[in-house]
Chain A
Amino acid sequence: MTPVLEIKGLRKEFKGFGLKNINISLNSGYIMGFIGPNGAGKSTTIKLIMNLLKKDEGEIRIFGMDNIKDEQEVKNRIGFVLDENYFYEELTVEEMKWVLAPVYKAWDEKTFKKYLKDFQLPPKKKIKELSKGMKMKFSLAIALSHNADLFIMDEPTSGLDPLVRSELLDILSEVIQDENKAVFFSTHITSDLDKIADYITMINQGEIILSMPKDDILNNYGLVKGGKELLDRDIRKSFVAIKENQFGFEGLAKDRKQAKKMFGDKVVIEKPTLEDVMLYYVRGNQNV
């Protein structure tokens, strides 16, 4: 099956920062969470996908097509929700739609009206008068109303309350019922993805740290807590990172079962959250 989104060897240099050799692959029917701390390169990657930035090296294929050579065709089928509102604030919801709808080949007015109603977006209200959550919902309504097959979201929930975040996740769950659609969702709020993501790609300082099914991460990795006397040079190597405090250590082990075999009852082993995994990879070893 051709992946919906395929990034190979992507490289982009800036002063003091760069994306190095990014490889990502997403098949349709799945939600991929793209996580990493602020400044890790998430937005840069997404801007490169949308050709807002020019890549230095690498290949980006969407629906099997090159994202630059077939730019219009590709963008017709992408629904996007970005971190900020880039619409014309002076226009009303309705006026903005008049500007956007003719651009898309497969614009679906009926669906758009339904979402306006569901989201309670007043058509004659100026975009600048909408709350942050409403602005995101407006973006979402547009993204969902032109029969897009790939949804790209760049931190759509940052700054939003848990209620709006949960509403967005419900809608994405609904979207993915169609196995011909896919969602690429970048965020640093990993709790959003703990539940519904199928795959997780983690990025830090411009490099991909891991890219695998979310379940594998949560089932395999383990938070190991025990006494510091249990650690030695070799044992430390089997951990992603270890946090030590006065009274013991807590570490992220790549293989929970192996850790159980190694330590037996001498430690407490728990299932990590995505945030735990991200923090351990990003912060490394710590002496509290």
Chain B
Amino acid sequence: MNIIISNSSDKPIYDQIAEQIKTHIINGDLKEAEMLPSIRNLAKELQISVITTKRAYEELEREGYIVSVPGKGSFVSAKNKELLKEARIRIVEEKLLEAVSTAKTVDISLDELQKMIEILYEEG
């Protein structure tokens, strides 16, 4: 999982972290019930204050993306199933759109495209 922060951005660092983790969760990089790095470890790695990482996790918890268990750590919350599903559907649509427009540029017909999808679906 990559977390890249910008010191010169106007956006507070805790905000940048929370946003990026949210994206990772929606993208599926972080799976349900997966454990997040500890706030101290994250602070050390990114060379920022532990108060910052704490705040980022607090925001994520408030918005329902993660759950913090005292003494154990923070985990991606299961409540996201619906959110995740919707986000994933969006991604599928996006990718299909891409496939459709690319197909059109090389004159692949709708029929041929559908056959390709069938084969791929069965294989994968």
Chain B interfacial positions (CB closer than 8 Å to A): 7-8, 10, 12-14, 40-41, 43-44, 47-52, 55
Contact = CB atoms under 8 A, between A and B. Distances in A.
A259 interface: no
Interface string A197-221: 1110000000000000111000100
| A contact residues, range | 10 to 19
Nearest to A216: B51
Contacts of B41: 177
B44 A215 contact: no
A271 B8 contact: yes
Contacts of B8: 271
B89 to A, nearest CB: 36
Contact of A179 (B12, B40, B44, B47): B40
Interface in A187-246: 195-199, 213-215, 219
A30 B51 contact: yes
A213 B48 contact: no
Interface of A: 29-31, 173-174, 176-177, 179, 195-199, 213-215, 219, 271
Contacts of B10: 271
B69 to A, nearest CB: 16
Given A215-B13, A215-B55, A219-B12, A196 B40 contact: no
Contact of B50 (A29, A174, A219, A271): A29
A213 B12 CA distance: 13
B50 A195 contact: no
Contact of A214 (B40, B44, B49, B55): B49
A213 B49 contact: yes
Contact of B51 (A173, A174, A179, A213): A213
A196 B12 contact: no
B44 to A, nearest CB: 5
B47 A197 contact: no
A195 B40 contact: no
Contacts of B12: 215, 219
B115 to A, nearest CB: 55
Nearest to A31: B49
10 contacts: A176-B50, A195-B48, A195-B49, A197-B49, A198-B50, A213-B49, A215-B12, A215-B13, A219-B12, A271-B10
Given A198-B49, A198-B50, A199-B51, 5 more contacts: A29-B40, A173-B43, A176-B50, A215-B49, A271-B10
